[in-house]
Amino acid sequence: MYVGRFAPSPTGLLHIGSLLTALASYADARAHGGRWLVRMEDLDPPREMAGAADHILRTLEAFGFEWDGEVAYQSRRHHLYEDALGRLKDKGLVYPCYCSRKDWQAAAGMGADGFVYNGRCRVPEHRPSENGKPPAWRIRVPDETVGFDDAVVGHYAQNLARDIGDFVLLRADGFWAYQLAVVADDAEQGITHVVRGQDLLVSAPRQIFLQNALGFRPVRYAHLPLLVNKSGQKWSKQTLAPALDKAQAEPLLRQVSAYLNLPPAPQVDRPRDLLDWAVTHWNIKRVPKNAVCTE
Ligand code: GLU
């Protein structure tokens, strides 16, 4: 059984890049006769935009998407993350870290996704005094290569110790880290296939490592090409990606379908028919690997 998902963060409204991810994850799931879930990744309230979660769901509906079951909200699932961290503590894989960023970043090397933590708090005697502040919790990573075969990108691998370093699962400010939440949620929701943007490719080895550490079933990955502006920057809130206009659902769906190399659809009555067309003609092998410029 195939279970896929679309997992937007309500830090802004959906834009053309989000539509590409929604369409590809939906088409891949339905073409396999699978379920397609929507999960709202509202883990980080200070970064969220008031009203964005509802706006995202209304936009998906206007574009003809229908998800299975109830929408899952990460803000209501903290018990799952607590449980996962507890299990990792029992296995002795995680440790409290009292370092502030300025303690270690100045001397740290750059890895695949930011600075590589120097591991100071791995050794209890090296931990700075607890000074009454709550720690962050980090997981100890092995000096091993974690690789996988991505349905779009092909083989991708990292050495976790060299490229990433011990990474945070629970932040010192009390917020759960994306890496842990996504793995705990995917497992609890029975997700079998993750189809998402290539900005998250760099996270996949950490997530595979966590799945293994927690004894979860592996998932299959497909990381989609990023949509970029003419300066080569990914469309996002920071690059002022325009929010999707519900009145333009049909032309926008046609546009992202073309980026996915779907054949052009005939005249349709409603946006939903374009989704059906995408499902019927879906072929992940035709999805390009490289970024697509939309301007
Ligand atoms: N919430 C993430 C985002 O909007 C996606 C997480 C995922 O698909 O694993 O970028």
CA of 125 to the centre of ligand 1 (A): 37
The candidate with the shortest Cα–Cα distance to 2, out of 289, 258, 279, is: 279
DSSP codes, 24-89:
HHHHHHHHTT-EEEEEE----GGG--TTHHHHHHHHHHHTT---SSPPEEGGG-HHHHHHHHHHHH
Ligand 1 atom closest to Cα of 41? 1
- Which protein residue has the closest C-alpha to ligand 1 atom 7? 7
State if residue 186 touches ligand 1 by the CB under 6 angstroms criterion.
Answer: no
* Ligand 1 binding pocket mutation candidate from 5, 6, 9 (most atoms within 8 A of CB): 9
Contact (Cβ atoms closer than 8 angstroms) between residue 35 and residue 238: no
State if residue 8 touches ligand 1 by the CB under 6 angstroms criterion.
Answer: yes
CA of 129 to the centre of ligand 1 (A): 35
Rounded to 5°, the CA angle 62-64-66 comes to: 110
List the pLDDT tens digit at each of the 295 positions of the chain. Answer: 999 999 999 999 999 999 999 999 999 999 999 999 999 999 999 999 999 999 999 999 999 999 999 999 999 999 999 999 999 999 999 999 999 888 888 889 999 999 999 999 999 888 877 677 899 999 999 999 999 999 999 999 999 999 999 999 999 999 999 999 999 999 999 999 999 999 999 999 999 999 999 999 999 999 999 999 999 999 987 888 999 999 999 999 999 999 999 999 999 999 999 999 999 999 999 999 999 999 9
State if residue 202 touches ligand 1 by the CB under 6 angstroms criterion.
Answer: no
State if residue 225 touches ligand 1 by the CB under 6 angstroms criterion.
Answer: no
CA of 85 to the centre of ligand 1 (A): 20
State if residue 243 touches ligand 1 by the CB under 6 angstroms criterion.
Answer: no
